[in-house]
Amino acid sequence: MSNLKKWKTLKSKMVLDNPWCQVRQDEIELPNGKIIDDYFVSIKPDVAMVLPITANREIIFVRQYRHAVGEFFLELPAGSFDPTKENAEVAAIRELAEETGYTAQEFRKIGTLYDKPSKDTNQIHLFLAENVRKTGEQQLDITEEIEIMLIPVESVLDKIIQGKISVAGTIAALFLGLKLLNS
């Protein structure tokens, strides 16, 4: 049995409350009694991410610019959602169609992860969609400019090793989903 104890929140206030970013400042007491008055927490919405695989065993990736690091990334289709307004699977279905124009008849949940639980509040809900097919056009948000790329399943590990696929949530979904497919 562990002797670890949770931190105690003494006070909490929102220091940034914007539709794009919310930050909470907590005053906390550590188990050793030390007080930290400026522990900042990023309040983020949950994310639904889809590992979409075609009947030809190609994975549909989206390539897009990520401003925080100023680079383009290959990622799986994903987007944020409000769990009080839609469930994770509905959000995954919506995001796949909006970002790629592809749909699938069946989505399987493959996991729920925390991205950065030391500072962020959100979860990433991962789904596998098999036999996806193009049924429409992209319906992108104002901040999205997305290139769709189909990559054979057999090439994905090499692309991760080469650093061409480098986003943590995408890599986790790939390993979990491909393990599920091969079992």
**Mean pLDDT rounded to a whole number for the chain:** 95
Q: For 164, how many CA atoms within 13 A lie in the half-sphere containing its CB?
A: 11
Residues 92-102 have a mean pLDDT of 97
The Cβ of residue 28 has, within 10 Å, a number of other Cβ atoms equal to 18
Domains of the chain, CATH where assigned: 8-43 (no CATH), 46-181 (3.90.79.10)
Residues 150-164 have a mean pLDDT of 97
The dihedral built from the CA positions of residue 171, 177, 181 and 183, taken in this order, carries a sign that is positive
> For the segment 132-143, what is each residue's pLDDT rounded down to a tens digit?
999 999 999 998
From CA 141, how far away is CA 146, in angstroms rounded? 10
pLDDT at residue 129, as a whole number:
97
> For the segment 43-84, what is each residue's pLDDT rounded down to a tens digit?
999 999 999 999 999 999 999 999 999 999 999 999 999 888
Structure tokens at 68: 């925080």
DSSP string, 63-123: EEEETTTTEEEEE--EEEE-TTTS-HHHHHHHHHHHHHSEE-S-EEEEEEEES-TTTB--E
- Predicted confidence band at 2 (pLDDT cuts at 50, 70, 90)? confident
